[in-house]
Every structure is written in C-alpha cells, then in structure tokens.
C-alpha cells in the first residue's frame, strides 16, 4: 500500500495557519495567472513574427480596411471645419423702410444685437450704403443719373446659431418687425451643404461598419487557421488539465497583436496619404481662395483608431474561438 | 481510487462499448487492462479521463463522482491524472524540457519549481541530458519516456497508460514497464491498458480482462504492492 503518511486532519491546525495558506495560494494563483498572460502575450507575438509574410498579409488587410473610413473621416472633418468658416459669413440683411430716421435704425440695431440668437448686428445708414456703392463702382451719383440716394438703410444680422431651424425662427421674428421692408437671406445653400454633409457622414459611417465587418472576418479567419494548425496541441493540453481560458488565451493575444499592428499600420497609411494629398489639395483649394487645412489624426483620433482596431480584432478572435474550439476536444 | 459500479457506455447509434463494468482499483495498486482491440479498453480509459461520460452506472475516481463533475471542474480533475498515450502525444515544435514542463505550467507552478521538477522527472526516465532536444530527434523509446516524464512530473495520484509499449520492441517495452513499477512502488496508483499478454504475465500484477465490453474476470493474479 501507499508509503505516504496520511494527511493530518486540518481541523487540529490553528485557523490562522490555514487562512494564511489560503492567502498564499490565492497570491500564487494570481501571479501564475499574470505570468501566463505575460507568456501568452510574448509567445503570440513571437509566433506572429516567426511567419512575417503571412501575418503581414493579415494586418495589412486590417490596415487597408481601416484606412479607407479613416481617410473619409479626415476629409469630412476638414470639410466641416471649412464650412464652419463659411457659415460665419452667413448673414441676414434687413432693408429698412425708406426715410426711416437713423435714430430708429440705431435703436432697432441695438435691440437686435441684444437678442440671444444674434451674434452681432450692425447698422448701415442709407448714406453709408450710397457712399460705399459709389466707391465700389468708382462713379458719382450724377453719372448714374440719380439726384437722391435710392438706397435704403439696412441692418446686417449675424446669427449666433447656424442650424437651420433656429435660423428660420430668427427669420420669422425679423419679418414681423414693422420697420423692416424686406429681408434678404442667403442661407439656403448652408442648409443644403449641411444636409449634404449629413449624407456623406452616413455614407462614411456605413462604409466604416462594412469594413469593420471585413476586419472581423479577416481576423476571425486567421485565428481559425491558427486554431486549426494547433488542434493537436490544444487536445494535449486539455487532457493535461488546461482550463478553457488557458486554451483561449494565446489566441486572444494573437487577436490583440493583429489589431494593434493593423491599427498602427493604418495610422501610418492614413498619415502617408494625407501627406501625399497635402500639396495638390492646397493648390486646388487656393484656386477657390480657400484656406487649406488638411488635418492630421490627432492623439485622440489615433487612440480611437488603434483601440477600434484592437477591439474589432478581439471580437473576431472571440467568434473564431467560440466556433472552432469545440472541435478540439480530446479524443 | 478508481471505482466502476455497473458502468455502461453506449455510443450514439446504439453500439455498447462497455456494459455493466464493475472494477475497483485501490490506492497504490497497479493493474493491467487487457483485451483484443475493440474490447473497450480505450473507452474505459476515456471514462476515467472524462473524455467520455458514462451512459449509466457510477464511476468514482480519486474521490470524485465523474458523472456529477461540471464542465468547469474537469480541468482541475484531470490535473491529478498522469496519462501516457501509445503515440505519446508530444508537442513536436517544442523541446523535451517544454513538453515535460507543460502540466506544471498549466497548473500555474512557479518557474523555479518547474525547472527543479522537470529535471527530476527527466532524470527519473534517464533523459536529463536530452532536455534541449526536440522529440523528433529522439528514438521511439526515448519519446515514450518523455511522455512518461510528462505524465509523472506533477506526481499524480493516478497514472494511466494506453498501450504504452505498443510501438516498442520487447527490450524497450520491459524497460518502460519497469518504470511504471517504480512509480507504483512509491505509491502511485497505476492502470495500464495493454494487449502484450506475454509481458504482462511476466510482471505478475493484477489483470482485468475486457471482452466485447464486458469485464471477464478480475481475479487477483499477482502481488499487491
């Protein structure tokens, strides 16, 4: 029979002793767990680097899939910054009744200026308008055949809010003023532009989702192949008492590495393309007299890009593990 | 240590691999399991390792009733078993050392203990100087000894072997069996499935014989350690 000494009953030992042992055990387990995470992370990376060509193909596909929507996003945010500048120029001109005294015009301007929906309002008297008109055309009123000033006084209102419903509300208020003869509002194009941007934004979002699914599938398939090639190993370690989490861990890290490398490669690609487009775009925009502000990915955007890449890759890895680990039970 | 009570195993399709097997192996015993191929030896071992689940009857291994074992408990249960396969099931892309270390790493042992225990196990099977080799560089007998080192490195309570000498010549087979006897002498319960009746007869241990899924006899034929 066994030569081992039988276990002494634990109840006879002091309680604190066994509690200590439990704590030591828990600490040991935690450090073993951390050790395995560290080992899996480094071994998965080594595995990935050992077959550089095939792994590069995977993370390049990830990078390209992420580059497209990111570039669209960059273009869109540049465009939005540009249109915000244009919208600043969005103003409403109020033509006042002929012969309205300047004092009334001033008062009305001050009233409008005080309104919260108005960024600023300024008064252009009939004389000022007439002077500036003549200066613009470099002629005098006699040459035009006018003896009197034909122009009305006007108030230029720059709205504080540029979204279309608030603009319409402001417009209604202004039209209701008795001193106002006519309102000229050239804001319809801003509305159209905003709707166009919304449309593009939806297209970019849809594209990003679609390409996100592509990344999911690519990583899922790569992890599936990795599981497939290590099926025998998985069977062996399961028989040696490996838990489900232990078996999954190296593949989860493989997913993280693909995501990280893909994300970084995407960042490099995006930056390269933005740099490449910078000078032709500047030249193009300059012909319209526009300031070119090609944006680069900022710190937050970069972080979001890389985290999104890791997140999607992890999801791909999880799907593959869910579906294919079942086939690797010991036989 | 291993208690089969009226255990049957039916596979899908109705084939009954084991029918009403009752077998009791005490702690510290060494038992051979024989029978022609298809008699149910492998099925019996698969039930003990909880690769398969019994269709009826009760199986108790190392104090645990296997039918009641939850999925999440299976890995921890298996850590008390040492399993030797006919084809040794080594990881060919890893060194001998890494292969033997595997059960300890899975159990989360400290690296210092891992080194010490792997060396001890390799020393026991006489392969200490081969630790940096890959299994492919070793002979069949050496590979099997690596498999045994891996099975015993955690000092399991139970050692199971499925045709451990199936691919080896008689001389090597005797060495391997002698190794199992040594582990048994220090208190490990050992169950070996083998059809090498000549070898078994010489070794003088208890023999359980399966035929068409039924246990023919479990007479006490040999010494008890």
Q: What is the pLDDT of residue A166?
A: 72
pLDDT digits (tens, 9 = 90+) for B187-219: 999 999 988 888 888 888 899 998 888 888 655
| Mean pLDDT value of segment B166-182 | 86
Instruction: Find, in chain A, the residue whose alpha carbon is nearest to that of B109.
Output: A32
Using an 8 Å CB-CB cutoff, list chain A residues near B110. Answer: 28, 31-32
Q: Which of B49, B187, B224 sits opposite A3 (nearest CB)?
A: B187
Q: Is B162 on the interface with A (CB under 8 A)?
A: no
Q: What is the DSSP letter of B218?
A: -
Range in A166-180, B29-43, B93-107, B113-127 with the lowest mean pLDDT: A166-180
Domain residue ranges of chain A, discontinuous segments joined by +: 40-85+193-328, 91-185
Using an 8 Å CB-CB cutoff, list chain A residues near B72. Answer: 243-244
Q: What is the pLDDT of residue A13?
A: 43
CB contact under 8 A, A236 and B110: no
Question: What's the 3-state SS for chain A?
Answer: CCCCCCCCCHHHCCHHHHHHHHHHHHHHHHHHHHHHHHHHHHHHHHHHHHCHHHHHHHHHHHHHHHHHHHHHHHHHHHHHHHHHHHHHCCCEEEEECCCCCHHHHHHHHHHHHHCCCEEEEEEECHHHHHHHHHHHHCCCHHHHCCCCCCCCCEEEEEECCCCHHHHHHHHHHHHCCCCEEEEEECCHHHHHHHHHHHHHHHHHHHHHHHHHHHHHHHHHHHHHHHHHHCHHHHHHHHHCCCCHHHHHHHHHHHHHHHHHHHHHHHHHHHHHHHHHHHHHHHHHHHCCCCCCCCCCCCHHHHHHHHHHHHHHHHHHHHHHHHHHHHHHCCC
* Residue pair A313/A220 in contact by the 8 Å Cβ criterion: no
* pTM score, whole prediction: 0.74
Q: Which residues of A touch B (CB under 8 A)?
A: 1-4, 28-29, 31-33, 35-36, 232-233, 235-244, 246, 329-331
pLDDT in tens, chain A (331 residues): 444 444 444 444 444 555 565 566 666 677 888 888 888 899 888 888 888 888 888 889 999 999 988 888 888 877 777 666 665 556 788 888 888 888 888 888 888 888 887 888 888 888 888 888 777 777 665 666 676 777 888 888 877 766 667 777 777 888 888 888 888 776 666 677 778 888 888 988 898 899 999 989 999 999 999 999 889 899 999 999 999 999 999 999 999 999 999 999 999 999 999 888 888 878 877 777 666 666 678 888 899 999 999 999 999 999 999 988 888 888 7
Using an 8 Å CB-CB cutoff, list chain B residues near A31. Answer: 110
- Report the distance separating Cα B42 and Cα B22, nearest Å: 16
Q: Is the pLDDT of residue B225 over 80?
A: no
CB contact under 8 A, A232 and B105: no
Q: What percent of chain B has pLDDT over 70?
A: 96
Contacts of B138 (CB under 8 A, 6+ apart): B96, B127, B130, B146
Using an 8 Å CB-CB cutoff, list chain A residues near B79. Answer: 240-241
The pLDDT-based confidence of B158 (bands split at 50, 70, 90) is very high
CB contact under 8 A, A241 and B187: no
Q: What is the pLDDT of residue B204?
A: 82
Q: Is B115 on the interface with A (CB under 8 A)?
A: no
Instruction: Find, in chain B, the residue whose alpha carbon is nearest to that of A247.
Output: B106
Using an 8 Å CB-CB cutoff, list chain B residues near A330. Answer: 49, 51
* Residue pair B106/A246 in contact by the 8 Å Cβ criterion: yes
Instruction: Find, in chain A, the residue whose alpha carbon is nearest to that of B74.
Output: A241
Per CATH, the number for A91-185 is 3.30.70.3040
Q: What is the pLDDT of residue B46?
A: 92
Q: Which of A33, A35, A236 sits opposite B89 (nearest CB)?
A: A236
Chain B closest CA to A81's CA: distance in Å? 55
CB contact under 8 A, A242 and B75: yes
- Report the distance separating Cα B208 and Cα B219, nearest Å: 8
Dihedral angle computed from the Cα positions of residues A292, A187, A138 and A147, in that order, rounded to the nearest 10 degrees: -170
- Average per-residue pLDDT in chain B? 88
Q: What is the pLDDT of residue A10?
A: 42
- Report the distance separating Cα A165 and Cα A194, nearest Å: 12
Chain A closest CA to B110's CA: distance in Å? 7
Q: Which of A29, A233, A330 sits opposite B108 (nearest CB)?
A: A29
Q: What is the pLDDT of residue A90?
A: 65
| Mean pLDDT value of segment B35-39 | 84
Q: Is A179 exposed, middle or buried (0-12, 13-18, 19+ CB in 10 A)?
A: middle
Using an 8 Å CB-CB cutoff, list chain B residues near A239. Answer: 49, 51, 78, 83, 89
- A42-59 as b/e: b if 16+ CB within 10 A: eebbebbeeeeeebeebb
Q: Which helix (H) or strand (E) holds B73?
A: none
- Report the distance separating Cα B23 and Cα B213, nearest Å: 13
Range in A40-44, A282-286, B80-84, B112-116 with the lowest mean pLDDT: A282-286
* Residue pair A157/A91 in contact by the 8 Å Cβ criterion: yes
Q: Any bridge partners for residue B190, and if so which?
A: B30, B159
CB contact under 8 A, B106 and A246: yes
The values of phi and psi at residue B92, to 5°, are -75, -20
- Report the distance separating Cα A257 and Cα A277, nearest Å: 30
What are chain B's domains? 1-80+157-225 (3.40.50.300), 89-155 (no CATH)
Using an 8 Å CB-CB cutoff, list chain A residues near B186. Answer: 3
Q: What is the pLDDT of residue A315?
A: 95
């Amino acid at each position: 029979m066994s030569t081992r000494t039988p276990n002494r009953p634990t109840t006879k030992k002091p309680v604190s002793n066994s509690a200590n042992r439990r704590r030591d055990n828990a600490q040991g387990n935690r450090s073993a767990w951390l050790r395995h995470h560290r080992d899996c992370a480094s071994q998965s990376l080594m595995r990935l680097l050992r077959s550089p060509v095939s792994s590069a193909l995977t993370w390049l596909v990830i990078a390209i899939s992420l580059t497209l929507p990111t570039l669209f996003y960059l273009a869109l945010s540049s465009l939005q910054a540009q249109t915000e500048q244009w919208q600043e120029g969005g103003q409403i001109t109020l033509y006042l009744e002929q012969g309205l005294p300047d004092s009334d015009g001033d008062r009305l301007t001050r009233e409008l200026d005080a309104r919260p929906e108005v960024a600023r309002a300024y008064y252009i008297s009939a004389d000022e308008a007439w002077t500036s008109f003549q200066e613009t055309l470099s002629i005098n009123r006699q040459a035009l055949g006018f003896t009197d000033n034909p122009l009305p006084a006007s108030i230029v209102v720059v709205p504080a809010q540029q979204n279309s419903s608030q603009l319409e509300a402001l417009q209604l208020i202004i039209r209701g003023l008795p001193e106002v003869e006519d309102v000229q509002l050239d804001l319809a194009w801003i509305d159209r532009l905003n709707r166009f941007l919304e449309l593009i934004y939806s297209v970019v979002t849809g594209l990003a989702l679609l390409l996100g699914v592509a990344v999911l599938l690519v990583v899922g398939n790569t992890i599936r192949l990795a599981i497939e090639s290590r099926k025998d190993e998985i069977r062996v370690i399961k028989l040696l008492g490996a838990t489900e989490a232990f078996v999954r861990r190296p593949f989860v890290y493989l997913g993280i590495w693909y995501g990280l490398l893909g994300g970084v490669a995407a960042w490099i690609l995006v930056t390269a393309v933005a740099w490449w487009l910078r000078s032709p775009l500047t030249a193009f925009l300059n012909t319209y007299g526009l300031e070119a502000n090609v944006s680069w990915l900022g710190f937050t955007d970069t972080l979001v890009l890389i985290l999104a890449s890791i997140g999607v890759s992890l999801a791909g890895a999880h799907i593959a593990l869910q579906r294919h680990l079942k086939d690797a039970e010991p036989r | 240590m291993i208690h089969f009570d009226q255990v049957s195993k039916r596979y899908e399709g109705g084939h009954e691999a084991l029918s009403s097997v009752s077998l009791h192996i005490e702690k510290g015993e060494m038992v051979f399991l024989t029978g022609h191929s298809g008699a149910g030896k492998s099925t019996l071992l698969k039930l003990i390792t909880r690769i398969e689940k019994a269709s009826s009857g009760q199986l108790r291994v190392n104090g645990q009733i296997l039918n009641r074992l939850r999925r999440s408990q299976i890995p921890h249960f298996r850590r008390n078993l040492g399993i030797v396969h006919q084809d040794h099931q080594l990881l060919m892309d890893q060194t001998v050392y890494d292969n033997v270390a595997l059960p300890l790493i899975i159990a989360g042992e400290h690296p210092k203990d891992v080194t010490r225990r792997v060396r001890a196990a390799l020393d026991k099977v006489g392969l200490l100087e081969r630790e940096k080799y890959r299994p492919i560089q070793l002979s069949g007998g050496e590979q099997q000894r690596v498999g045994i080192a891996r099975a015993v490195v955690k000092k399991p309570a139970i050692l199971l072997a499925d045709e451990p000498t199936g691919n080896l010549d008689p001389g090597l087979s005797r060495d391997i069996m002698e190794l199992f006897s040594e582990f048994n002498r220090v208190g490990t319960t050992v169950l070996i499935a083998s059809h090498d009746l000549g070898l078994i007869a010489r070794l003088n241990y208890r023999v359980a014989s399966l035929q068409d899924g039924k246990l023919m006899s479990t007479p006490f034929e040999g010494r008890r350690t």
